[in-house]
Amino acid sequence: MEGFLSVIGKAAIVYSWLFTDRHTSLALDITHRCNLRCKHCYFWREEHPSELQDGGMLFLMRRLRKEGLRAAIIYGGEPTLRLDLCRAASGIFDACLIFTNGTHGFPDIGRAKWILSLDGPEKINDEIRGTGVYWEAVNAVKKAARPPLVHMTISRLNKGCVEEFVAAMAELPIDGIGFSFFTPEVGDDSGQCALEPYERDLLLDEILSLRRSYGHIVGMTEAMARQLRSDGDFFSWNNALRCPVHKRVRCFSPDGSPKMCTYGDKADCSKCGCAAVAAYRGAFHPLDMKTLLMVFCLLGMPGSSLLRALLRPPVKKTENKSHARKELFGKMR
Ligand code: SF4
Ligand code: SF4
């Protein structure tokens, strides 16, 4: 019965996206604490007011669910530091994604899906996230009861290793790899991490080429790439008034206070690289079945993974790992 109600809830989310302009989703930082100190992360550098206790956080989640938010993305800090809240969110919302750095494994949390943040193959990832983090996370993936998604934030620190990273991830039991571009805060890119528009365009070409080589495990469609391209739709939404995340997702800090977006109040929309915007706009502006299927898989719609597997385009097996880079360099010459 619970599973049936959850399916109805997921269908209601898609209905709202298609036919209403309501908020549908919650993005909640359940903690500001983290056991890592990633180079590109501004979260741990900032002062934060004390976070809500478990009771307050549960009350907030239940209240927002009653107000009609059926989907949730849980962030931190590191959410596994409050595992009971992860489990609670999984039960409260009809669809729930939870980001983690993977160093505490992938405990069973019910129907919610883990998203593992990694930023490259071992050397690059560990330069950014800390020594030993890559293998800790990868070994945990191998033991996970359900395959997690993997998410890479591409910045100046790791832009040269996307292909190598995808090749490494393709060997693991994962559900797919998503990509964002690093989004700086207004007036502060102290790590000089943000990429120029032309660099992002070239990387999008590379990722799409990797999708042709590795198949749907590479979570980027043409329609999604168009949202992030400087010669595509990027400049039609990259401000808070037009951004769909701002319109559809209510975002909260660990103390329960609302914020402009998942990246915080100071996020520089003009340089936004948000994967959620790319997926949402890619699926619905205009309707694109490949991206919609990806969104259904993210929501955990029954049958969507099977359908994705059945509709999988033929992977170019004869092409080796250097295929995408050759194609990219061909374009650059
Ligand atoms: S794991 Fe996430 S929250 Fe923690 S330092 Fe890294 S990017 Fe920041
Ligand atoms: S930073 Fe990106 S996701 Fe956040 S409000 Fe601005 S445009 Fe939207």
Pocket probe for ligand 1: among 32, 39, 44, the residue whose CB has the most ligand atoms within 8 Å is: 44
Please give the average per-residue pLDDT across 261-280, as a whole number: 95
Measured CA to CA, the distance from residue 189 to residue 40 in angstroms comes to: 9
Choose between 7 and 153: higher pLDDT: 153
Q: Is residue 313 pLDDT above 50, yes or no?
A: yes
25 lines ligand 2 (CB under 6 A): no
Measured CA to CA, the distance from residue 80 to residue 71 in angstroms comes to: 19
Ligand nearest to the CA of 271: 2
44 token code pair = 């741990």
**Residue 189: C-alpha distances to residues 119, 124, 203, 272, 273 (Å):** 18, 20, 20, 13, 14
Ligand 1, atom 7, residue with closest C-alpha: 41
DSSP secondary structure letters along 40-61: T--TTTS--PPPPPHHHHHHHH
Ligand 2, atom 7, residue with closest C-alpha: 269
Angle between helices 289-299 and 275-284 (to 10 degrees): 130
279 lines ligand 2 (CB under 6 A): no
What is the whole-number distance in angstroms between the Cα of residue 117 and the centre of ligand 1?
Answer: 9
pLDDT tens digits for 104-117? 999 999 999 999 99
Ligand nearest to the CA of 277: 2
| Cα torsion through 237, 178, 61, 9, rounded to 10 | 90
Measured CA to CA, the distance from residue 26 to residue 195 in angstroms comes to: 28
218 token code pair = 């590479």
Report domain extents, the chain: 2-331
Residues with CB under 6 A from ligand 1: 34, 36-38, 41, 43-44, 76-78, 101, 117
pLDDT tens digits for 160-173? 999 999 999 999 99
Please give the average per-residue pLDDT across 301-316, as a whole number: 70
Q: Which candidate, 71, 63, 53, places its Cα nearest to that of 113?
A: 71
Q: What is the pLDDT of residue 320?
A: 46
Choose between 308 and 88: higher pLDDT: 88
Please give the average per-residue pLDDT across 29-53, as a whole number: 91
Q: What is the mean pLDDT of the chain?
A: 91
137 lines ligand 2 (CB under 6 A): no
Q: What is the pLDDT of residue 318?
A: 44
φ and ψ at residue 82, rounded to 5 degrees:
-130, 65
Q: Is residue 323 pLDDT above 60, yes or no?
A: no
269 lines ligand 2 (CB under 6 A): yes
Q: What is the pLDDT of residue 330?
A: 42
Residues of the chain with pLDDT > 90: what percent?
78
Lowest mean pLDDT among 160-169, 254-263, 311-320: 311-320
Ligand 1 atom showing the smallest separation from residue 40 Cα = 7
What is the whole-number distance in angstroms between the Cα of residue 250 and the centre of ligand 2?
Answer: 12
Q: What is the pLDDT of residue 140?
A: 98
Q: Which CATH number fits domain 2-331: 3.30.70, 3.40.50, 3.20.20, 3.30.450?
A: 3.20.20
What is the whole-number distance in angstroms between the Cα of residue 280 and the centre of ligand 1?
Answer: 24
Confidence of residue 325 (pLDDT cuts 50, 70, 90): very low
CB 251 within 8 A of CB 258: yes
Confidence of residue 127 (pLDDT cuts 50, 70, 90): very high
pLDDT tens digits for 45-99? 888 889 999 999 999 999 999 999 999 999 999 999 999 999 999 999 999 999 9
Q: What is the pLDDT of residue 44?
A: 81
Q: What is the pLDDT of residue 187?
A: 87
- At 299 the three-state DSSP class reads helix
Q: Which candidate, 43, 42, 46, 37, places its Cα nearest to that of 133?
A: 37
DSSP secondary structure letters along 198-219: HHHHHHHHHHHHHHHHHGGGB-
Please give the average per-residue pLDDT across 135-157, as a whole number: 97
Q: Which candidate, 53, 25, 172, places its Cα nearest to that of 106?
A: 172
